[in-house]
Amino acid sequence: MGSVSGTCAIVGVGTSRFGKLQGVSAMGFTIEASKRAIEDAGIERDALDGVLVMMPAVMGEQHGWAARVAAYLGIEPTFSATMDMGGATACGSVQTAVAAIEAGYCNAVLCCFATQNWPQGVAMQLFGSEFQVPYGDVGAITLMGHIKRRQQHEYGVRDEHYGRIAVTWREHAQRNPDAQMRKAMTLDDYFRSRWVAEPLRLFDCCPNTDGGGACIVTSLERSRDLAKRPARILGAGQSHSSEMIHPTGRDAPAIGGRVAADKAFGGAGVRPGDIDVAQFYDAFTPRVIHDLIAYGFCAPADVGDFIAAGNLDFGGALPSNTAGGLISEGHLSGFGHIREAVRQLRGEAAERQIPKAELCLVTGYGGAPHEAPPTVSYSALILAR
């Protein structure tokens, strides 16, 4: 049973300035990105009656965040929520927007987010549980180190495969004038980069990014009056589970996200082999390995060879993270991925354009990897021109 029925589309995308940009507030970035998405769609501001906003990280609890975003934009929505799925929120909020439109709660939804990593006037909050932080296990990065360790142990993935992902994304970012990390990088550079949480190297990790992103979802019918070719939302899926530590015991599913994949592909009526271009949620390189397996592109034993064969490159069978990904374009929590997917489907990706981009997969991943038990959310969209 599919989770969406192809009745809606993404009609506008935008990002704010992004990079190392202290001094701009998360709210400032949010409304800047939203304004650009509104302009890109060519939609009247007053036509927006839904607002979904990802809860900002770093700043701790934020009451009424989505309603405040709406107020700054002069919108009085009939449907609004602040969503908390971490890096799975971008795709998840689009899925929620479709559900709200199909239910008749609203007609056009702004989905948006921003982060300021060094917010002014806000005390930094130490995240993490009493079963992790006292052992020096702090932040999301340690879990990702464990995930890389287990991938190497279980699937035989080698460091050169992770390095190939990082180098490929950097090559893609060099064709993206907005990307945060554009300096040329070789596999030797990857191997020389320092350990952060061994086996995780610096170049396995995305940078911290201050900035925001947004997209606008409306019905296909409504999209015909707007400025650009709509990106039809063919499929969507999500699943939520614990990772590494399972309260139900060690018989928990071996790989998370399979259910999100099945729902997205099943709803769209397409298969992994049909995908022309993919945007994998890649805050760290092991995420790409995970998604290649969970979304059915590779058997676990083949994933290293699949990458080494160049399949993720521009000329490969599955050109991926064509704007550079979180790792080189910058960490816009997946809204950069949605923008790039829509641009590819519209044929707007300039020197990054994939020749026959008709079907694009976007994945999301996030949650509370630093809590006990570590919990993660998976989300996916299948978009079509």
Partner 1 sequence: MFGVEKPLPRPSEDSAPFWENALRGELRMQRCSDCGHVRFPPALLCARCLSERSEWVRLSGRGMVYSWIVVHQSQHPAFNADVPYNVAIVELEEGPRLHTNIVGCTNDQIHIGMPVEVVFEKVNDDTALVKFRPRRA
Q: Which residues bind partner 1 (CB under 8 A)?
A: 126, 128-139, 141-142, 145-146, 149-150, 153, 194-200, 244-250, 372-373
Shortest reach from residue 204's CB to partner 1, in Å: 12
* Closest CA relative to residue 98, chosen from 232, 206, 210, 198: 232
| Tokens 């800047």, located at residue | 32
- Smallest gap from Cβ 374 to partner 1, in A, equals 9
Q: Which residue, 56 or 128, has its beta carbon nearer to partner 1?
A: 128
Specify the residue, 247 or 273, whose C-beta has the smaller distance to partner 1.
247
3-state secondary structure 101-144: HHHCCCCEEEEEEEECCCCCCCCCCCCCCCCCHHHCCCCHHHHH
CB of 144 to partner 1, least distance (A): 9
Which residue number, 27 or 141, has a Cβ lying nearer to partner 1?
A: 141
Please name every residue paired with 383 in a beta bridge, in sequence order, or none if there are none.
Answer: 233, 360
The answer for 246, left when phi > 0, alpha when psi is -120 to 50, beta otherwise, is: beta
Nearest Cα neighbor of 263 from 384, 105, 378, 102 is 378
Q: Which is nearer to partner 1, 283 or 342 (CB)?
A: 283
> Least separation, in Å, of the C-beta of 335 and partner 1?
25
For residue 336 the two structure tokens come to 């950069």
- Calpha distance 208→220 (Å, rounded): 36
Minimum distance from residue 87 beta carbon to partner 1 (Å): 18
